[in-house]
């Protein structure tokens, strides 16, 4: 008998039993899962929790501001922001393989959390105040697709499951690990989180790092951020946010094609639009979006984003395609 109320009660009790009087930190990604996990843990242990937002430079436009303002406003949670763009980009330099990217990002997240933990302990200045717990918004599908956290991914290593390093020093608190996304949203609403947070479209922890097919560089990220912002703006303007599960915007960084703009030949990169409809992200279908909206997005991206001369639509369901390209 699944009710959001009983899930919340059960998890609050379990979290209290696990954490006791110690401190915990929770990584916030800007997504629904980590927000709901944080709110749940906050309900259980109050200000024994500190949220950590890692700005790894792989975020979309406006994402950092949203976490820093909206989430804190909604929950009153204690937030520590860590600027880590250089660190992540250095670690990702020269890497094109998707699983390797995911492992590197997962590892760097943990290293940043460990550092944040040490700083928090130092700030608190109290013995016994150790932050031994790391809260993650891991869902049931993340675990299944990462091969049950065994380290061998069935499909792909979600950054907070198969992407974790072996020498992790934290004990994990994962209050959502039995839930699907729609259930997580109901729990979020039960906890009083606003719709703008609860009904956000999913965005992966590794961020735009797994939406650049090829090496991840600052220039490519900036380009993709622009294209992504245009697509999101037009989807929102067309009122499609709730209809579409999510719409990854992908940069094929190693591909170039010939085009013509003004009186000149161009040789630029393609951007892929991947709008999908889904119930739980385990399976998905490509969304039959209105042509006018697609046309507007395409025109704007090719006009406004330098070095992009082609926009293509991904019409593959899952399976056989996954939602993200990497
Ligand atoms: P795939 O690409 O596996 O994606 O069909 C399923 C859902 O999971 C999201 N996703 C992730 N979320 N960390 C996350 O927090 C990850 O490493 C990760 N990989 C994929 C994806 O956006 C989709 O909603």
Tens-place pLDDT, residues 245-258: 999 999 999 999 99
- Residue 159 Cβ inside 6 Å of ligand 1? The answer reads yes
Closest CA to 284 of 276, 292, 273: 276
Query: pTM, whole model, 2 decimals?
Result: 0.92
129 has a pLDDT exceeding 60: no
Residue 325 parent element (H or E):
none
pLDDT number for residue 149: 55
By CB neighbour count within 10 A (0-12 exposed, 13-18 middle, 19+ buried), where does 129 fall?
middle
* 27-36 per-position pLDDT tens digit: 998 889 999 9
Question: How high is the pLDDT of residue 121?
Answer: 85
pLDDT reading at 83 higher than 90: yes
Query: Cα(181) to centroid of ligand 1, in Å?
Result: 11
Distance CA 307, CA 203 (A): 25
204 close to ligand 1 (CB < 6 Angstrom): yes
Identify the residue whose C-alpha is closest to ligand 1 atom 16.
158
Percent of all residues in the chain with a pLDDT value above 70, rounded to a whole number: 96
Nearest residue to 59 (alpha-carbon basis) of 204, 255, 164, 175: 204
Residue 130: pLDDT over 90 = no
Alpha helices (H) along the chain = 4-19, 32-45, 63-66, 72-75, 85-92, 98-124, 140-145, 181-190, 195-198, 218-237, 291-304
- Consult the annotation and say whether 31 binds a ligand: yes
CATH number at 211-313: 3.30.300.10
Q: Is 7 assigned to a binding site?
A: no
Structure confidence by residue, pLDDT tens digits, 39-55: 999 999 999 999 999 99
Q: Classify burial at 126, counting beta carbons within 10 Å of its beta carbon; exposed 0-12, middle 13-18, buried 19 or more.
A: exposed
> 145 in ligand 1 pocket by Cβ < 6 Å?
yes
pLDDT 10s digits, 167-205 = 888 999 999 999 999 999 999 999 999 999 999 999 999
* pLDDT of 1 higher than 70: no
Is the C-beta atom of 322 inside 6 A of ligand 1? yes
- Whole-angstrom CA distances from 144 to 67, 74, 165, 219 are 28, 31, 18, 34
268 in contact with ligand 1, CB cutoff 6 A:
no
Nearest CA to ligand 1 atom 20: 204
pLDDT, tens digit, for every residue of 85-124?
999 999 999 999 999 999 999 999 999 999 999 998 888 7
Confidence at residue 225, expressed as pLDDT on a 0 to 100 scale: 98
pLDDT, position 125: 72
pLDDT computed for residue 17 by the predictor: 97
How many whole angstroms separate alpha carbon 311 and alpha carbon 299? 9
Q: Is 200 in the pocket of ligand 1 (CB under 6 A)?
A: no
**Considering only CA atoms, which of 152, 284, 293, 286 is closest in space to residue 236?**
293
Does the pLDDT of residue 240 top 70, yes or no?
Answer: yes
Is the pLDDT reported for residue 4 higher than 70? yes
For position 150, what pLDDT does the model report? 58
DSSP tag of 14? H
DSSP state of 69: I
162 lines ligand 1 (CB under 6 A): no
CB 53 within 8 Å of CB 81: yes
Q: Which ligand 1 atom is the nearest neighbour of the CA of 33?
A: 15
Could you tell me if 78 and 28 are in contact, meaning their C-beta atoms sit under 8 angstroms apart?
no
Would you call 312 helix, strand, or coil by DSSP? Answer: strand
- Annotated binding residue 30: yes
Give CATH 3.30.300.10 domain extents, the chain: 211-313
Instruction: Pick the range with the lowest mean pLDDT from 130-134, 150-154, 263-267, 302-306.
Output: 150-154
- Which of the residue ranges 63-72, 157-166, 189-198, 227-236 would you say has the lowest mean pLDDT? 157-166
- Positive or negative torsion for Cα 277, 191, 138, 58: positive
Between helices 98-124 and 85-92, what is the axis angle to 10°? 150
Q: Residue 249 in contact with residue 204, Cβ under 8 Å? A: no
Q: CATH 3.40.50.620 in the chain, residues?
A: 4-198
Report how far ligand 1's centroid is from the alpha carbon of 282 (Å). 10
What's the mean pLDDT in 160-173?
Answer: 88
One CATH from 3.40.50.2300, 3.30.1360.120, 3.90.1010.10, 3.40.50.620 for 4-198:
3.40.50.620
Is the pLDDT confidence value at 79 over 90?
yes
Question: Looking at residue 167, what is its pLDDT?
Answer: 86
DSSP track, 143-202? HHHTTTTSSS-SS---TTTTTS-TT--SEEE-TTTT--HHHHHHHHHHTT--HHHHTPPP
From 7-16, 45-54, 150-159, the region with the lowest mean pLDDT: 150-159
* Predicted local distance difference test score (pLDDT) of residue 50: 96
Per-chain mean pLDDT for the chain? 93
Ligand 1: nearest atom to the Cα of 326:
2
């Amino acid at each position: 008998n699944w009710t959001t109320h009983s899930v919340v009660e059960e998890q609050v009790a379990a979290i209290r039993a696990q954490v006791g009087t110690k401190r915990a930190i929770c990584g916030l990604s800007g997504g629904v899962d980590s927000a709901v996990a944080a709110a749940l843990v906050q309900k259980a242990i109050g200000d024994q929790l500190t949220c950590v937002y890692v700005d790894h430079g792989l975020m979309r436009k406006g994402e950092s501001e949203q976490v820093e303002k909206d989430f804190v406003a909604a929950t009153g949670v204690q937030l520590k922001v860590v600027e880590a763009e250089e660190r992540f980009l250095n670690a990702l330099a020269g890497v094109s393989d998707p699983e390797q990217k995911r492992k590197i990002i997962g590892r760097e997240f943990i290293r940043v959390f460990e550092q944040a933990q040490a700083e928090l302990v130092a700030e608190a200045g109290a013995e016994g105040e150790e932050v031994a717990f790391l809260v993650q918004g891991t869902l049931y599908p993340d675990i299944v697709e990462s091969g049950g956290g065994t380290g061998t991914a069935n499909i792909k290593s979600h950054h907070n499951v198969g992407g974790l390093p072996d020498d992790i020093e934290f004990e994990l608190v994962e209050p959502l690990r039995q839930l699907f996304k729609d259930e997580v949203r109901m729990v979020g609403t039960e906890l009083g989180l606003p719709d703008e947070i609860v009904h956000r479209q999913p965005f992966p922890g590794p961020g735009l790092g797994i939406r650049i097919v090829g090496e991840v560089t600052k220039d490519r990220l900036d380009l993709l951020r622009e294209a992504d912002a245009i697509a999101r703006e037009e989807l929102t303007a067309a009122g499609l946010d709730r209809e579409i599960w999510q719409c990854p915007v992908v940069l094929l960084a190693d591909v170039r094609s010939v085009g013509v703009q003004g009186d000149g030949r161009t040789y630029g990169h393609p951007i892929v639009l991947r709008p999908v409809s889904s119930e739980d992200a385990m399976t998905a279908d490509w969304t039959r979006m209105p042509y006018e909206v697609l046309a507007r997005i395409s025109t704007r991206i090719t006009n406004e984003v330098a070095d992009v001369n082609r926009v293509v639509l991904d019409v593959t369901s899952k399976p056989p395609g996954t939602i993200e390209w990497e």
